[in-house]
């Protein structure tokens, strides 16, 4: 170690204790990247585990004093490289700050630390008859801090919205170690800028969230579930449009293409229709006769569109099995090879065109691409499967990834619906938001993190953005 390195390491150890600071490269390397295995990642110089806000303050003051980059990290479930390490950085792992500090049924809110697992929060409020709706596919191990960092969504977004819709207030440690408390505990509040929402989705580039006050909803009723299969994407898209125009608000409306259907059936032996071009899974959680009636209307829409198979059930266990098939789509595709998981959202009226476009990209690139997604809000997850040891396949996979982003933008969509930009899509942000918006992003970053130490290289580049794509890889 250099003298400077020895000094800042000693300061961290004094503040967090020897067990709160890891330096062994054999250990710290396991915190170098998230689940986006092909996103660039560096090697952290140290990995630290704060237990309270004061610990985070100490880390950031030390980092600022010595000019050390800082990368915040939760459970590492991200899919865009948002928490991937930077060479020589301090990686701040927030998982030891895992307390549910308060549940207030009268105010329908919970106060939590960022290391609380999403499912842990759900379980903690269930006894009070309450519900925290955002449910990413990794809800049983991803953390609230990570959800806040990327503004995560999940399967229930069509009815309940995304993470930012439940954020009342935040405690954030800024780059210089100051502690910002923003937001409120009241239902309404418009005093000043909405700073809480500024930090949601900022991927750790503006500050480190150390506490969140989150709105809750009354617990949903037991759902009624529907599954339907279709011979064409046009039929599937027609149903999604008709759900919206008919005024239906299912709690869940998910789609899988034929590639995903076959992969899931191979994994689960679920007797799925392997010839179906698309499969829809829907639920209504309004309860009792109302839920049954809503699903009955949706079933009618499926039949009118020409569905080959429609099945509904009020049985909770059977509904859970149908939903499990949807949740296992990405793990099933991962059994076929390495994956590049995209996260494009398009207008709901363009879902069919997007699915067809992905089929065309798969054929043109000579690769397997499976599409699964949240049909109710247009957020699709095309997954490119390839052999990373084959240079030709690897190049075609990154090309297909770019093609999919281009397709999404051409259809009036966005490059990310819930996974974030990270460093995987950083070259595409300016394409979507334009130079003026990018300049505003940089101005905000400069105001809150003038040294550029917080999660550098994520969301956007410090200087002029490069052209789109993976050509530098």
The domain that holds 177 is classified in CATH as: 3.30.465.10
Task: List the CATH number of the domain containing 402.
Answer: 3.40.462.10
pLDDT, position 37: 75
Q: Is residue 466 part of a domain?
A: no
Which residues are CB-contacts of 394 (< 8 A; sequence separation ≥ 6)?
Answer: 386, 387, 388
Instruction: Say whether both 118 and 24 belong to one domain.
Output: no
Instruction: Say whether both 115 and 188 belong to one domain.
Output: yes
Q: Is residue 444 part of a domain?
A: no
**Nearest Cα to 310, choosing from 342, 273, 269?**
273
Instruction: Say whether both 283 and 405 belong to one domain.
Output: yes
Residue 34 has which token pair?
Answer: 């998230």
Which residues are CB-contacts of 439 (< 8 A; sequence separation ≥ 6)?
Answer: none
Instruction: Say whether both 173 and 253 belong to one domain.
Output: no
Instruction: Say whether both 202 and 150 belong to one domain.
Output: yes
Containing structural domain, residue 179:
100-218
pLDDT, position 410: 98
**Nearest Cα to 284, choosing from 272, 297, 300?**
297
Q: Is residue 203 part of a domain?
A: yes
Check whether 467 has a pLDDT greater than 80. Answer: no
Check whether 472 has a pLDDT greater than 50. Answer: no
Mean pLDDT value across residues 408-421: 96
The H or E element spanning position 332 is helix 329-334
Band (462; pLDDT cuts 50, 70, 90): confident
Measured in Å, how far apart are the chain's first and last C-alpha atoms?
31
Mean pLDDT of the chain: 93
Mean pLDDT value across residues 320-334: 91
Instruction: Say whether both 237 and 322 belong to one domain.
Output: yes
Q: Is residue 252 part of a domain?
A: yes
Q: Is residue 299 part of a domain?
A: yes
Instruction: Say whether both 112 and 210 belong to one domain.
Output: yes
Dist. CA 446–CA 440, nearest whole Å: 10
Residue pair 47/106 in contact (Cβ under 8 Å)? The answer is no
Check whether 219 has a pLDDT greater than 60. Answer: yes
Final residue belonging to a domain, choices 410, 428, 461: 410
Dist. CA 298–CA 344, nearest whole Å: 25
pTM exceeds 0.85: yes
Mean pLDDT value across residues 12-19: 95
Instruction: Say whether both 38 and 165 belong to one domain.
Output: no
Check whether 4 has a pLDDT greater than 70. Answer: no
Dist. CA 214–CA 1, nearest whole Å: 43
Check whether 466 has a pLDDT greater than 70. Answer: no
Dist. CA 469–CA 157, nearest whole Å: 29
Dist. CA 392–CA 398, nearest whole Å: 10
Band (5; pLDDT cuts 50, 70, 90): low
Check whether 252 has a pLDDT greater than 50. Answer: yes
Final residue belonging to a domain, choices 218, 249, 283: 218
- Tens-place pLDDT, residues 60-95: 999 999 999 999 999 999 999 999 999 999 999 999
Q: Is residue 451 part of a domain?
A: no
Name which residue leads in pLDDT, 345 or 463. 345
Band (463; pLDDT cuts 50, 70, 90): low
- Tens-place pLDDT, residues 104-161: 999 999 999 999 999 999 999 999 999 999 988 888 999 999 999 999 998 888 999 9
Dist. CA 462–CA 445, nearest whole Å: 9
Instruction: Say whether both 395 and 281 belong to one domain.
Output: yes
Instruction: Say whether both 360 and 229 belong to one domain.
Output: yes
- Tens-place pLDDT, residues 21-40: 999 999 999 999 999 878 99
pLDDT, position 139: 87
Mean pLDDT value across residues 280-303: 96
Q: Is residue 27 part of a domain?
A: yes
Check whether 469 has a pLDDT greater than 90. Answer: no
Dist. CA 253–CA 154, nearest whole Å: 11
Antiparallel, parallel or unpaired: β 224-230 and 179-183: unpaired
Mean pLDDT value across residues 318-327: 90
Final residue belonging to a domain, choices 192, 218, 244: 218
Instruction: Report the percent of the chain where pLDDT is more than 70.
Output: 97
pLDDT, position 471: 38
Q: Is residue 393 part of a domain?
A: yes
Instruction: Say whether both 17 and 166 belong to one domain.
Output: no
Total domains, the chain: 3
Check whether 384 has a pLDDT greater than 60. Answer: yes
Band (413; pLDDT cuts 50, 70, 90): very high
Instruction: Say whether both 76 and 156 belong to one domain.
Output: no
Task: List the CATH number of the domain containing 48.
Answer: 3.30.43.10
Check whether 20 has a pLDDT greater than 70. Answer: yes
DSSP string, 210-221: EEEEEE-EEPPP
Mean pLDDT value across residues 5-17: 92
């Amino acid at each position: 170690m250099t003298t400077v390195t020895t000094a800042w390491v000693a300061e961290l150890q004094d503040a967090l204790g020897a067990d709160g600071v890891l330096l062994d490269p054999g250990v710290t390397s396991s915190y170098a990247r998230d689940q986006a295995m092909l996103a660039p990642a560096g090697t952290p110089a140290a990995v630290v585990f704060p237990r309270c806000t004061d610990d985070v303050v100490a880390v950031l003051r030390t980092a600022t004093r010595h000019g050390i980059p800082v990368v915040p990290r939760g459970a590492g479930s991200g899919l865009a490289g948002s928490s991937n390490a930077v060479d020589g950085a301090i990686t701040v792992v927030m998982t030891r700050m895992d307390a549910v500090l308060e549940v207030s049924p009268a105010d329908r809110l919970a106060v939590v630390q960022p290391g609380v697992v999403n499912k842990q929060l759900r379980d903690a409020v269930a006894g009070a008859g309450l519900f925290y709706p955002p449910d990413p596919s990794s809800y049983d191990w991803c953390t609230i801090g990570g959800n806040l960092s990327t503004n995560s969504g999940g399967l229930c977004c069509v009815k309940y919205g995304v993470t930012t819709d439940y954020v009342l207030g935040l405690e954030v440690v800024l780059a210089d170690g100051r502690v910002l408390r923003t937001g409120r505990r009241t239902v309404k509040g418009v005093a000043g800028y909405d700073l809480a929402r500024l930090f949601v989705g900022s991927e750790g580039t503006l500050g480190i969230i150390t506490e969140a006050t989150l709105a809750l909803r009354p617990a949903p009723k037991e759902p009624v579930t529907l599954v339907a299969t279709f011979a064409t994407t046009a039929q599937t898209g027609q149903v999604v449009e008709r759900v919206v125009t008919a005024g239906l608000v299912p709690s869940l409306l998910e789609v899988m293409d034929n590639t995903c259907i076959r992969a899931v059936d191979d994994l689960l032996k679920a007797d799925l229709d392997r010839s179906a071009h698309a499969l829809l899974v829907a639920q209504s959680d309004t309860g009792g006769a109302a839920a049954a009636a809503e699903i009955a209307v949706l079933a009618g829409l499926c039949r009118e569109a020409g569905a080959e198979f429609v099945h509904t059930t009020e049985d909770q266990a059977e509904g859970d099995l149908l939903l499990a098939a949807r949740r296992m789509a990405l793990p099933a595709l991962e059994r076929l090879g390495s994956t590049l998981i995209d996260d494009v959202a398009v207008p709901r009226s363009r879902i069919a065109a997007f699915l067809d476009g992905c089929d065309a990209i798969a054929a043109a690139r000579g690769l397997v691409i499976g599409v699964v997604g949240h049909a109710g809000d247009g957020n699709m997850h095309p997954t490119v499967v390839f052999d990373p040891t084959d240079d030709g396949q690897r190049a075609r996979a990154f090309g297909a990834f770019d093609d999919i982003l281009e397709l999404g933008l051409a259809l009036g969509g966005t490059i990310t619906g819930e996974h974030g930009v990270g460093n995987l899509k950083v070259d595409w942000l300016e394409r979507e938001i334009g130079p003026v918006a990018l300049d505003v992003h940089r101005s905000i970053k400069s105001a809150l993190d003038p040294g550029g130490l917080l999660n550098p290289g994520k969301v956007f580049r410090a200087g002029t953005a490069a052209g789109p794509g993976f050509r530098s890889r």
